[in-house]
């Protein structure tokens, strides 16, 4: 249980006062019940530690899905001043641009009655490789093609016929961050990325076939192309081994140099470099490469999903009408313009397990959604439900344009496996109406609903705080796990 002083300052907002080496206060968005859970691990200590980063401004922030992570808590947000501030690989995480992609269709639940549903999940399991080290979704890339992926992101996939240009228009940053430099990516990282485009990976990554079970805002749902009982697909994955290696390489390079930078940090896992230093710029350029790889990865998976649906149902692309609603990343550091205390500032916004949530009218929201706000995709635990939300005005005032990214763990993977021992986990999912296909039972045991907070509680907090607005609830009918 954390002994850190935390004061309640609003109904759903708590503050860790600025003390000691903290440069800013810490702020946590949570209900009373969620705060009780949050106090049970070290995440509040990590919120306080992040507040010590050089150049951090405003607050060290935590979303209601916060839990203990590497350096930064998962569910943490911190913005550092581009002028003199630091960039921290721990503030992005090992799975760079782990994110979520949601596609809608013209199908309804009645179109996927058994045995069609089971055939579809089997086909998706075959089409989208999953598990540790998974590869083979598309032919192994040449070194030159990989470097194009690192620069072009999802656009490379479109050029190869994996989707269409409209997909890019509905992807955060158009599926590509500028300033990516493959020369800043190690040979080891590149080697790991050659065969993994179009693959899910393991852990909490998944591919879900879902139905729209409830609408909260029909106007926004209509803008997003969603309607009751509709079949949608959610893909949760990231930059695979390439992104992991880029993070690992950066930490090994930066950690020994903290004294050279004049940095004294409360936790070596917060290892950071000045944003304007060669080390900081090299990490930023490599991180952008990994982000682009992840967008390309999810784009290829979406193409494979579309093919699987068409094959099993025997329909064409027009009748399926599987269009991308949006793709958002939740492990990233991006240079953005924000207003703080009446001053416009260029900031490096670290979002680790947090989703961008720009409101209506923001120039980076796609034109199709400009009047309602950016779609926010919030997956829940396996077998429960997920949410589609929209960015709200409060995000720009309170969270540097950020909101929650999921349910958030309430127990470790080890604890979850222990609680799952001796149970028929696949059978339990079947009883919930969910067909599960997985490469092994380990990740199923780690990702059971008992391991997570209730995502409904999480999104309700962010709505009550005026940061993001609920649009639709989605319930799974089939899951492919790593």
Residue-wise DSSP of 380-422? -STTS-EEEEEE-THHHHHSSSEE--S--BSS-HHHHHHHHTT
Contact between residue 51 and residue 60 where contact means Cβ atoms under 8 Å apart: yes
Annotated active-site residue 303? The verdict is: no
CA distance 71 to 61: 14
Cis status of the peptide bond prior to 159, with omega within 30 of 0: no
Q: Is 280 helix (H, G, I), strand (E, B) or coil?
A: helix
Give Cα 286 distance to the centre of its chain: 18
- The one catalytic residue in 205, 236, 362, 405 is 405
Active-site residues: which are they?
A: 405
């Amino acid at each position: 249980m954390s002994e850190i002083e935390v004061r309640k300052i609003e109904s759903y907002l708590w503050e860790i006062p600025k003390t000691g080496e903290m440069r800013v206060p810490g702020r946590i968005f949570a209900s009373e019940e969620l705060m009780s859970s949050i106090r049970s691990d070290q995440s509040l200590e990590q919120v306080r530690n992040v507040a010590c980063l050089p150049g951090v401004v405003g607050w060290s922030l935590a979303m209601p899905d916060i839990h203990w992570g590497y350096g930064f808590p998962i569910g943490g947000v911190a913005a550092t001043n581009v002028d003199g501030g630091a960039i921290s690989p721990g503030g992005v995480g090992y799975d760079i641009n782990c994110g979520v992609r949601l596609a809608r269709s013209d199908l309804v639940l009645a179109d996927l009655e058994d045995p069609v549903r089971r055939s579809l999940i089997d086909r998706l399991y075959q089409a989208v490789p999953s598990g540790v080290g998974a590869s083979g979704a598309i032919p192994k890339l040449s070194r030159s093609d990989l470097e194009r992926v690192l620069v072009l992101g999802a656009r490379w996939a479109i050029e190869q016929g994996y989707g269409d240009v409209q997909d890019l228009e509905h992807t955060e940053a158009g599926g590509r961050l500028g300033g990516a430099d493959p020369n800043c990516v190690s040979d080891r990282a590149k080697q790991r990325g050659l065969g993994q485009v179009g693959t899910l990976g393991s852990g909490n990554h998944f591919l879900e076939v879902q139905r729209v079970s409830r609408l909260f805002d029909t106007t926004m749902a209509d803008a997003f192309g969603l309607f009751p009982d509709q079949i949608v697909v959610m893909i949760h994955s990231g930059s695979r081994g390439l992104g992991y290696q880029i993070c690992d390489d950066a930490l090994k390079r930066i950690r020994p140099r903290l004294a050279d930078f004049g940095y004294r940090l409360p936790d070596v896992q917060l290892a950071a470099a000045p944003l304007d230093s060669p080390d900081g710029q090299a990490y930023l350029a490599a991180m952008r490469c990994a982000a682009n790889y992840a967008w390309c990865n999810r784009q290829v998976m979406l193409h494979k999903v579309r093919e699987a649906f068409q094959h099993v149902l025997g329909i064409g692309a027009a009748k399926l009408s599987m269009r991308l609603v949006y793709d958002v990343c939740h492990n990233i550091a991006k240079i953005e313009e924000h207003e703080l205390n009446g001053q416009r500032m260029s900031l490096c916004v670290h979002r680790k397990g947090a989703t961008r949530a720009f409101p209506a009218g923001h120039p980076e929201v796609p034109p199709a959604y400009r009047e309602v706000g950016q779609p926010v995709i919030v997956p829940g635990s396996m077998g429960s439900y997920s949410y589609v939300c929209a960015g709200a005005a409060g995000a720009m005032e309170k969270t540097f344009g950020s909101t929650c990214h999921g349910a958030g763990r309430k127990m470790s993977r080890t604890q979850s496996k222990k609680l799952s021992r001796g149970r028929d986990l696949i059978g339990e999912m079947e009883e919930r109406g969910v067909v599960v296909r997985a490469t092994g039972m380990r990740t199923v045991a780690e990702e059971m609903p008992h391991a997570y907070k209730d995502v409904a509680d999480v999104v309700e907090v962010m709505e009550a705080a005026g940061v993001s607005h609920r649009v639709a609830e989605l319930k799974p009918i089939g899951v492919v796990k790593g």
